A and B are shown apart, each in its own frame.
Chain A
């Protein structure tokens, strides 16, 4: 038997969490570095996975399957394809980064490290699950450590934020669970036995009504997670209260559960309904893009600003997902990775300045570029990656989404391009107020610039931001076969035909001469 690399990826951080819990709390000087080292263990596994992954292959690879709960027909069923591979890699990069940036956590350190490792296990599991029951278990497992991270290590209003986060997402999951159970029953009706296998579900014959209800149940759960406007109000609260590591993982990976779910489940499982829902999802996506950006402009709190920028950026991904073209789907997936890197980095930066000044209010700063030039330079670099400067990662995803979405959703796409202008406004204006001018507030004088350790945390992020900007093909070669397969699946079971830009079948209004 081959080495079960996917199981190893899931179980390593879980075991690491258990190991950490065995160490006495007072040995915190051991726990922190040990936590980082343990969180690094899945990274080489993910590296091997990325290297060994067969390019040009659309289906699931490294598949493992074992009977888990026989009576329910639920299996321990894992597999990876071009959509999930990079999200797993992203998770294994961001967790060590988040822990590495949390050296100043000094209260219940053991639990903190364990919770982060448990979160990592859940996140990797959720992206690898090919069994809907298993998927749901991981989906819920993630909630608990994240709610604890916000609720225990957050700032003043942490309990409110944690409860809000929990209830909001739990409400969504309840509906999704109902949907999953319904699917299992339909599975029994059509095949004779209960089953939760994703691949099995793809073979079911769902009527239009069932598709619509099930789509709605899944979509609501994922829309809350993304978050899609108007289900986004838990996000700014959660971010403002969460400790840095929580914010990094929340924005960097957790939000992608929503967009991942829409792409993995809503489109292939309920293709007819998905087509019906395109206008609604597109409207909400575009509103999210513009509304999130507009609200970000006027936020007085840096962390809230970044949180609302996420609403805007994730709106682009939802738009790309429901534009249903080869380019837009590729753009959506690559943008999930990009947003994880840039927004994760932005939250790290905000956390570092908070540790020095104990405030995140833009008005409290000014002129920091003079006292912290390295910090200012890094902030500006990440800001431009987030703005979508070509040559850096954010551009590739945004550009693919815009170019790819226009053929099917021209009006929405043009409207969402306004978000590109607004992104420059909120980030550069924030930069101007925080970093430029003369230092007027004495509290900002003599701040220490980033230490070597703090700078090192950014090295992997900056490297990936440049790599994905200059040579995105490394990622796109992995992604494209799998996203194209989603499209083929929709085309196979519905009347929908993805446009072929420039092809003979594609007639442009006013053109055709």
Chain B
């Protein structure tokens, strides 16, 4: 079964090729059929292949299979080689499972788009690329997937390319990710120099015997730069809010559930290296905490329904970085899985709302939608409570485990735990704010709008994700750590940090974080639902300043523009204008002119460049021969 693992990549890739060449001819909605079936097929295959991991108590080495396909770049030990272990299985199931649901949803969402087939081409290409990323068994192949998902992200953000903002957002995403890639590539240079290969099998097996703490720190910090680019962490998160220019299914699949978690996955995958460096782990956790808190504050003041969710995603990814930074890999991956489910649901719900409101994304012009869109309302409510950390929904279990792991680590990390707790409160607040603005209160939409529930092809995926949001948290509760046990073989030999086992402490921590969620929701309820409009205006007026700063995301884009883009362009212009044309070419033309003047004395023989060339040749040759003769060589 596992021997044919490449099938999970080949299926969506084949469907992508099919739609690339025939999508237009096949037409809507038939183009979506191979697209959906290929992803669903990959999911089924992966589920069957993952069944082996459940076979009771097998030796852990047997839980890791390497499938060799062909030699790729032999000089770098880079082979097209897939790794099938529990972590790869989890990632594959998330990508294809959530992916399949989003593909189905997109049939309704993209209805009527002239490039319907092309959309599914890109979506399928993304699934194939993401699977290369999570199944690779060496850093080079990981990088292939890493860059190809970046390509798909670029193509899909700028899918509606006639909108200049969409085209600019796509480019921004790719370029900012490339900055992260710079760090990633330098990390690979050091790894290759030290290990002589890029294969996980060799690099991640007791790397401490090859490199010391200093080199490991350098490598891990550089890897972290790459991870920060892809997973939208400080200081490289700025592309993700703009990425909301893409169609909403794209935001759900790529910019919430899967691609942006690649950085988290990568840190977890290289846990053996991060284990050698407390500094790098601490840096990852700190970046995560700062990002989580910063993005949560920005989310508080957003008006665009998708931008709230974008900043929320950045913030939640911050939680995952906190977890993997302290070697709480299973906690981090657990949150990755639950977040993939409930955040995909939130985005698809938001898409359903946008669909109903004929493209409106400003929450100030929504309100009262609970009656118009009962299914969307119900499922989004579940997801909102989940991300707010209300038990027993999925988000509660996974977020709580991260906070518990941080608390268990103690020391400096208790500060990060505090940041995580504050973020939890803010999260509950901004999500409840969104809920009340969109679904609560009275309608604020204009005359022409006629909101309606979305077609079944969109609501069914919402319902499936809603049910999962309720259930999936139970795979890893302190009462039954099935998920952790399942993943254990993937972290053989890596110092894994677990949540404390002290029942009293766990309960106390859970109560505190639940309280944070409840408080956040309560404040949002009071401000955005209970208070009269006048009271709300007055209350918000008192915090106008911070709200303004948050609404503009601390003006980070403007600062980057002033500090990096503008001086960079000025420098490039100076190079192109002054250095290239004036200095270098000035010198060249000056010499050319001088030669021509000198040659002018020998006219009329010397006209035409062929002759001056001959003269030059002879002159040079004679000079050199003379020199050789003089030196007596």
Known contacts A294-B571, A472-B73; A436/B161 CB under 8 A: yes
A 469-481 to B, binary, CB cutoff 8 A, 1 in contact else 0 = 0111100100010
Residues of chain B with a CB closer than 8 A to A299's CB: 576
Residues of chain B with a CB closer than 8 A to A428's CB: 154, 171, 174-175
A185 within 8 A of B: yes
Residues of chain B with a CB closer than 8 A to A217's CB: 624
Per the 8 Å Cβ criterion, residues 473-500 of A in contact with B are 473, 476, 480, 499-500
Q: Which of A185, A395, A406, A476 contacts B633 (CB 8 A)?
A: A185
B167 touches A437 (CB 8 A): yes
B164 touches A178 (CB 8 A): no
Of all chain B residues, the one with the shortest Cβ separation from A414 is B186
B194 touches A178 (CB 8 A): no
Of all chain A residues, the one with the shortest Cβ separation from B203 is A502
Residues of chain A with a CB closer than 8 A to B195's CB: 501-502
Q: Which of A399, A437, A470 contacts B76 (CB 8 A)?
A: A399
Known contacts A171-B616, A407-B193, A501-B192; A432/B171 CB under 8 A: yes
Q: Which of B72, B75, B624 contacts A327 (CB 8 A)?
A: B75
Residues of chain B with a CB closer than 8 A to A396's CB: 73
Q: Which of A472, A510, A511 contacts B72 (CB 8 A)?
A: A472
A403 touches B186 (CB 8 A): no
A5 within 8 A of B: no
B151 within 8 A of A: yes
A 203-214 to B, binary, CB cutoff 8 A, 1 in contact else 0 = 000010110000
A244 within 8 A of B: no
A11 within 8 A of B: no
**Alpha-carbon gap, A232 to B575, bound state (A):** 13
Known contacts A295-B572, A390-B148; A403/B623 CB under 8 A: no
Of all chain A residues, the one with the shortest Cβ separation from B189 is A406
B625 touches A181 (CB 8 A): yes
A508 touches B215 (CB 8 A): yes
B621 touches A178 (CB 8 A): yes
B243 within 8 A of A: no
Known contacts A294-B571, A403-B76; A510/B621 CB under 8 A: no
A425 touches B175 (CB 8 A): yes
Residues of chain A with a CB closer than 8 A to B575's CB: 291, 294-295
Known contacts A418-B182, A506-B193; A178/B624 CB under 8 A: yes
A384 touches B151 (CB 8 A): yes
Please choose the segment from A61-69, A80-88, A162-170 that sits at the chain B interface, where 4 or more of its residues have CB less than 8 A away: A162-170
Of all chain A residues, the one with the shortest Cβ separation from B589 is A164
B588 touches A298 (CB 8 A): no
A 14-56 to B, binary, CB cutoff 8 A, 1 in contact else 0 = 0000000000000000000000000000000000000000000
B182 touches A436 (CB 8 A): no
Of all chain B residues, the one with the shortest Cβ separation from A175 is B620
Known contacts A174-B616, A182-B633, A400-B76; A435/B161 CB under 8 A: yes
Q: Which of A174, A410, A470, A509 contacts B617 (CB 8 A)?
A: A174
Please choose the segment from B139-147, B480-488, B555-563 that sits at the chain A interface, where 4 or more of its residues have CB less than 8 A away: B139-147
Q: How far is the CB of A341 from chain B (nearest CB, A)?
A: 18
Q: Which of B74, B75, B185, B569 contacts A420 (CB 8 A)?
A: B185
B625 touches A178 (CB 8 A): yes
B158 within 8 A of A: yes
Residues of chain A with a CB closer than 8 A to B617's CB: 170, 173-174, 177
A295 touches B75 (CB 8 A): no
**Alpha-carbon gap, A400 to B76, bound state (A):** 7
**Alpha-carbon gap, A168 to B588, bound state (A):** 9
Known contacts A390-B144, A501-B192, A508-B194; A513/B208 CB under 8 A: yes
A511 touches B189 (CB 8 A): no
**Alpha-carbon gap, A407 to B572, bound state (A):** 30
A429 touches B148 (CB 8 A): no
Known contacts A327-B75, A390-B143; A424/B569 CB under 8 A: no
B164 touches A511 (CB 8 A): no
B592 within 8 A of A: yes
**Alpha-carbon gap, A502 to B77, bound state (A):** 11
B401 within 8 A of A: no
Number of interface residues of B (CB under 8 A): 80
B175 touches A181 (CB 8 A): no
A402 within 8 A of B: yes
B171 touches A182 (CB 8 A): no
Of all chain B residues, the one with the shortest Cβ separation from A384 is B151
Most chain B CB atoms below 10 A, which of A297, A367, A403, A404: A403
A230 within 8 A of B: yes
**Alpha-carbon gap, A396 to B74, bound state (A):** 11
A182 touches B625 (CB 8 A): yes
A 146-179 to B, binary, CB cutoff 8 A, 1 in contact else 0 = 0100000000000000111011101101110111
B612 touches A406 (CB 8 A): no
**Alpha-carbon gap, A402 to B211, bound state (A):** 20
A 392-432 to B, binary, CB cutoff 8 A, 1 in contact else 0 = 00011001101110110010011001101100110011011
A511 touches B569 (CB 8 A): no
Residues of chain A with a CB closer than 8 A to B633's CB: 182, 185-186, 189, 207, 210
Known contacts A429-B171, A502-B196, A510-B218; A437/B178 CB under 8 A: no
Of all chain A residues, the one with the shortest Cβ separation from B180 is A421
**Alpha-carbon gap, A399 to B575, bound state (A):** 27
A330 within 8 A of B: yes
A391 touches B148 (CB 8 A): yes
Per the 8 Å Cβ criterion, residues 358-394 of A in contact with B are 367, 369-370, 384, 389-391
B162 within 8 A of A: yes
Known contacts A182-B624, A437-B167; A170/B193 CB under 8 A: no
**Alpha-carbon gap, A195 to B589, bound state (A):** 38
Residues of chain B with a CB closer than 8 A to A417's CB: 182, 185-186, 189
**Alpha-carbon gap, A410 to B147, bound state (A):** 24
Residues of chain B with a CB closer than 8 A to A418's CB: 182
B167 touches A476 (CB 8 A): no
Of all chain B residues, the one with the shortest Cβ separation from A297 is B572
**Alpha-carbon gap, A276 to B505, bound state (A):** 66
**Alpha-carbon gap, A203 to B541, bound state (A):** 86
**Alpha-carbon gap, A429 to B168, bound state (A):** 8
**Alpha-carbon gap, A480 to B174, bound state (A):** 33
B 157-182 to A, binary, CB cutoff 8 A, 1 in contact else 0 = 01001111011100100110011011
A437 touches B164 (CB 8 A): yes
A163 touches B143 (CB 8 A): no
B 613-633 to A, binary, CB cutoff 8 A, 1 in contact else 0 = 100110111011100100101
**Alpha-carbon gap, A167 to B588, bound state (A):** 10
A438 within 8 A of B: yes
**Alpha-carbon gap, A30 to B218, bound state (A):** 64
A480 touches B178 (CB 8 A): no
Known contacts A417-B182, A420-B185, A501-B193; A170/B212 CB under 8 A: no
**Alpha-carbon gap, A181 to B207, bound state (A):** 55
Residues of chain B with a CB closer than 8 A to A438's CB: 162, 164
A512 within 8 A of B: yes
Per the 8 Å Cβ criterion, residues 232-249 of A in contact with B are 232-234
A312 within 8 A of B: no
B 197-214 to A, binary, CB cutoff 8 A, 1 in contact else 0 = 110000000001111111
**Alpha-carbon gap, A298 to B573, bound state (A):** 6
Of all chain B residues, the one with the shortest Cβ separation from A473 is B71
A436 touches B162 (CB 8 A): yes
A503 within 8 A of B: yes
B569 touches A179 (CB 8 A): no
**Alpha-carbon gap, A175 to B610, bound state (A):** 17
Give 8 nearest A-B pairs by CB, closest first. Answer: A502-B196, A178-B624, A510-B214, A174-B620, A513-B212, A436-B167, A406-B189, A511-B215
Of the A-B pairs whose beta carbons lie under 8 Å apart in the complex, a sample of 19, sorted by A's number, is A162-B609, A295-B572, A295-B580, A299-B576, A391-B144, A391-B148, A402-B189, A403-B76, A404-B75, A420-B182, A420-B185, A428-B154, A428-B175, A437-B163, A472-B72, A510-B215, A510-B218, A511-B194, A511-B214
Known: A295-B572, A402-B185, A473-B73. 11 other contacts (CB 8 A): A181-B628, A182-B633, A389-B151, A399-B143, A420-B185, A421-B175, A428-B174, A432-B167, A436-B166, A438-B164, A480-B75
